[in-house]
Amino acid sequence: MGLNPPSPGGGKPIRVLLADDQALVRGALAALLNLEEDIEVVAQTGDGTNVVALAREHRVDVALLDIQMPVTDGLAAASSLRAAMPGCKVLIVTTFDRPGYLRAAFDAGARGFLVKDTPSSELAAAVRRVHAGGQVLDASLAAQSLIGGVNPLTERECQVLSQAQSGAPVARIAKTLFLSVGTVRNHLSNAIGKTGASNRIEAAHLAHEQGWI
């Protein structure tokens, strides 16, 4: 991954915020990073909603964000943080190694994307690299992203497929999204064609696997 870190310079430690809804994972990441002389975890949260407020309060240099969190997910939090504190770098650290998530993360302003089974030494090196202005991404996931290409679905098709994941009938999807039944059927038909699926449930599954919904 090319994560050769610079030697700690003895200056102020890199101030890190952790946002992950799994307390055990969050605690483990904090313990690992606090072992590094040049890194200090100064704030933690289990929800993306208060990421910006905590980052401001604790003068955070790097925010490590999970993707799937309650209320406000990591992608939305990354976008808000970029707007509120452009100098604070975002590193996505998640279980969900989907190419679509990688693209969405960088679109939201993240400077790095790693999966949670990354060795601790590489995680610390990634924090240093994004803090220094560089970028970090999981090599195998980057290759998958290039192979997979961009999301072919429109925003509305993604919304319809997201509702279809649970097996909701077309009428309920239409009511939820304030669309006509015919419009929903058209979006589902288009999405099925674009994903190469045989039905809407399969299309939703394929889109979910790619990180498009």
Question: pLDDT, tens digit, for every residue of 81-116?
Answer: 999 999 999 999 988 766 677 778 888 999 988 888
Could you tell me if 71 and 164 lie in one domain?
A: no
In a domain, 178, yes or no: yes
**CATH number, domain containing residue 19:** 3.40.50.2300
Could you tell me if 159 and 137 lie in one domain?
A: no
Could you tell me if 56 and 142 lie in one domain?
A: yes
Cα(158)–Cα(139) distance, integer angstroms? 27
Instruction: Fill in the amino acid letter for 14.
Output: I
Q: Are strands 62-65 and 112-115 parallel, antiparallel or unpaired?
A: unpaired
Cα(149)–Cα(99) distance, integer angstroms? 9
Could you tell me if 44 and 107 lie in one domain?
A: yes
Could you tell me if 104 and 180 lie in one domain?
A: no
Q: DSSP letters of 4-53? A: -PPPP-SSSPEEEEEE-S-HHHHHHHHHHHHTSTTEEEEEEESSGGGHHH
Last residue of a domain, one of 95, 115, 146: 146
Residue 24's pLDDT band, with cuts at 50, 70 and 90, is very high
Instruction: Find the domain containing 199 and state its range.
Output: 155-209
Q: What is the model's pLDDT at position 144?
A: 58
Could you tell me if 140 and 98 lie in one domain?
A: yes
Could you tell me if 123 and 176 lie in one domain?
A: no
Cα(188)–Cα(69) distance, integer angstroms? 27
Q: What is the model's pLDDT at position 30?
A: 95
In a domain, 104, yes or no: yes
Could you tell me if 100 and 170 lie in one domain?
A: no
Could you tell me if 138 and 167 lie in one domain?
A: no
In a domain, 167, yes or no: yes
Q: pLDDT averaged over the chain? A: 86
Number of structural domains the chain divides into: 2
Instruction: Output the pTM of the full model.
Output: 0.66
Could you tell me if 136 and 50 lie in one domain?
A: yes
Tell whether the model's pLDDT for residue 211 goes beyond 50: yes
Strand partners, 36: none
Could you tell me if 130 and 161 lie in one domain?
A: no
Strand partners, 64: 18, 91
Tell whether the model's pLDDT for residue 150 goes beyond 80: no
Could you tell me if 37 and 140 lie in one domain?
A: yes
